[in-house]
């Protein structure tokens, strides 16, 4: 195999797929990147057995071939080379299919010899047989994930909470995340197709749970671009096509809880506040909160008093003007959960629905109702 290109081209392609490569792997082959050069096209593929990323681009390929190279070492070398330098990658053919060969990378006066492992040893995720396909923009998908991912659980024994629920409908895609103490939900308009396949299930609604690492990698790949995205939902995998990048992730095999039951009704008793003012007040009070991050919210007509104290007898009190006339009410919350919800909202005004001191609250923007956040109260 032999190809020649600019350093930036190869580096950019490798950076797209490097995210799933851990520095310490149980299998040596998982530390490598699969390099497939064919017909003036180069494809790089990495996997950790749960998530797989493949990125392709046009390259000057003199001799086609397949091999695997140590991904992190190759990345460090390309980063260290001078900008806009010309890179030539050559891989010697091994004596047999099971043998390891040597790769030579040349750039100006620099020479690097890298050990390779057979391409056939690289595990790959199975092909996704799409049962449903959704189409939306990168911006909308990134928006959907950014507004919900922070509520995912971390290493919870209820493994189905350690991921993001994606729920498909005919004209919208919904994301839901919860750790049992809070819940984040966001809807985005989309177009859903039913593949013409005898194995495809004839349904317009489907739920899948994408694991935490898959969600994090997908967010990184989405970047700031705004181009079409295709999501293919299979029986055990989800595949996202982002132009020349193909992202595939296994799904969490479990049943997500009935989140609809956890969402309070939007009753008449609610407060409306300036989001920035409320967020700033909560952030200041949080400085003196105790280890469990609890703050006390005291509601009066047209006034919210936020209070926190700690075992050192220190105390912080903030007052915020609000639109509220529901009478006196006291309720405690984890201030981090409230701040996360406020940070995910873009509107100037937020509306918080409260019922009493022992019930969950519902937070959303006053105008944009596509996102909703539920937070359970704390006993302080």
Q: Hey, CA dihedral for 245, 251, 252, 257, is it positive or negative?
A: positive
Q: Which two tokens stand for residue 79?
A: 């980063």
Name 273's bridge partners: 350
Task: Name the residue with tokens 């006339």.
Answer: 325
Q: Give the pLDDT score at 80.
A: 97
Between CA 300 and CA 282 the distance in angstroms is 17
Q: What is the DSSP string of 64-95?
A: -EEEEEEHHHHHHHHHHSPTT-EEEEEEPPPS
List C-alpha distances in Å: 203 to 114, 133, 168, 206.
Answer: 50, 11, 10, 7
Between CA 114 and CA 102 the distance in angstroms is 6
- Report the interhelical angle of 71-80 vs 7-17 (nearest 10°): 140
Q: For residue 28, name the pLDDT band (cuts at 50, 70, 90).
A: very high
In the three-class reduction of DSSP (H, G, I as helix; E, B as strand; rest coil), residue 220 is classed as: helix
Global pTM value: 0.90
- Summarised one tens digit per residue, pLDDT across range 186-197 is 999 998 776 555
CATH superfamily, with its number, for domain 132-260: DNA Polymerase III, subunit A, domain 2 (3.10.150.10)
First CA to last CA distance, the chain: 66
The residue-averaged pLDDT of 55-62 equals 93
Arithmetic mean of pLDDT over the chain: 92
Q: Give the pLDDT score at 26.
A: 82
Q: Is the pLDDT of residue 203 over 60?
A: no
Q: Which two tokens stand for residue 96?
A: 């047999």
CATH classification of 2-121 is 1.20.120.1200, yes or no? no
Q: Give the pLDDT score at 196.
A: 56
Between CA 5 and CA 8 the distance in angstroms is 8
User: Which tops the pLDDT comparison, 26 or 63?
Assistant: 63
Domain 2-121 shares a fold with domain 132-260:
yes
The residue-averaged pLDDT of 255-279 equals 93
Q: For residue 200, name the pLDDT band (cuts at 50, 70, 90).
A: very low
Percent of the chain with pLDDT over 90: 82
Q: Give the pLDDT score at 276.
A: 97
Map out the domains of the chain as residue ranges: 2-121, 132-260, 263-375
Q: Is the pLDDT of residue 204 over 70?
A: no
- Summarised one tens digit per residue, pLDDT across range 113-172 is 999 999 999 998 878 888 889 999 999 999 999 999 999 999 999 999 999 999 998 889
CATH superfamily, with its number, for domain 263-375: DNA Polymerase III, subunit A, domain 2 (3.10.150.10)
Q: Which two tokens stand for residue 134?
A: 């959704």
Nearest to 296 by CA among 276, 312, 265, 318: 318
User: Which tops the pLDDT comparison, 202 or 295?
Assistant: 295
Burial class (CB in 10 A: 0-12, 13-18, 19+), 115: middle
Q: Give the pLDDT score at 194.
A: 63
């Amino acid at each position: 195999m032999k190809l020649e290109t600019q350093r930036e081209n190869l580096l950019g392609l490798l950076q797209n797929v490097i995210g799933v490569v851990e520095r310490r792997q149980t299998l040596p082959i998982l530390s490598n990147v699969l390099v497939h050069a064919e017909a003036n096209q180069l494809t790089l593929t990495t996997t950790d057995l749960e998530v797989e990323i493949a990125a392709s681009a046009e390259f000057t390929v003199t001799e086609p071939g397949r091999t695997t190279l140590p991904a992190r070492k190759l990345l460090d070398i390309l980063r260290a080379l001078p900008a806009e330098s010309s890179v030539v990658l050559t891989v010697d053919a091994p004596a047999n299919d099971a043998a390891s060969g040597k790769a030579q990378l040349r750039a100006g006066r620099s020479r690097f010899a890298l050990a390779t492992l057979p391409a056939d040893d690289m595990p790959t995720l199975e092909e996704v047989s799409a049962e449903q396909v959704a189409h939306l923009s990168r911006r909308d998908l990134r928006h959907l994930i950014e507004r919900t991912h922070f509520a995912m659980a971390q290493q919870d024994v209820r493994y189905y909470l350690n991921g993001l629920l994606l729920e498909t409908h005919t004209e919208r895609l919904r994301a839901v995340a919860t750790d049992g103490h809070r819940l984040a939900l966001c809807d985005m308009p989309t177009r859903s197709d039913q593949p013409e396949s005898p194995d495809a299930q004839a349904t317009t609604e489907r739920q899948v749970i994408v694991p935490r690492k898959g969600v994090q990698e997908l967010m990184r790949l989405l970047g700031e671009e705004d181009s079409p995205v295709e999501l293919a939902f299979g029986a055990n995998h989800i595949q996202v096509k982002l132009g020349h990048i193909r992202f595939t992730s296994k799904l969490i095999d479990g049943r997500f809880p009935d989140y609809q039951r956890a969402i309070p009704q939007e009753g008449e008793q609610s407060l409306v506040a300036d989001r920035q003012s409320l967020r700033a007040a909560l952030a200041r009070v949080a400085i003196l909160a105790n280890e469990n991050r609890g703050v006390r919210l005291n509601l009066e007509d047209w006034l919210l008093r936020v209070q926190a104290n700690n075992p050192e007898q220190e105390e912080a009190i903030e007052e915020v003007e609000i639109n509220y006339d529901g009478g006196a009410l006291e309720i405690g919350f984890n201030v981090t959960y409230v701040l996360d919800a406020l940070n995910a909202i873009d509107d100037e005004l937020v509306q918080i629905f409260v019922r009493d001191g022992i019930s969950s609250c519902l937070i959303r923007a006053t105008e944009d109702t596509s996102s909703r956040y539920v937070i359970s109260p704390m006993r302080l």
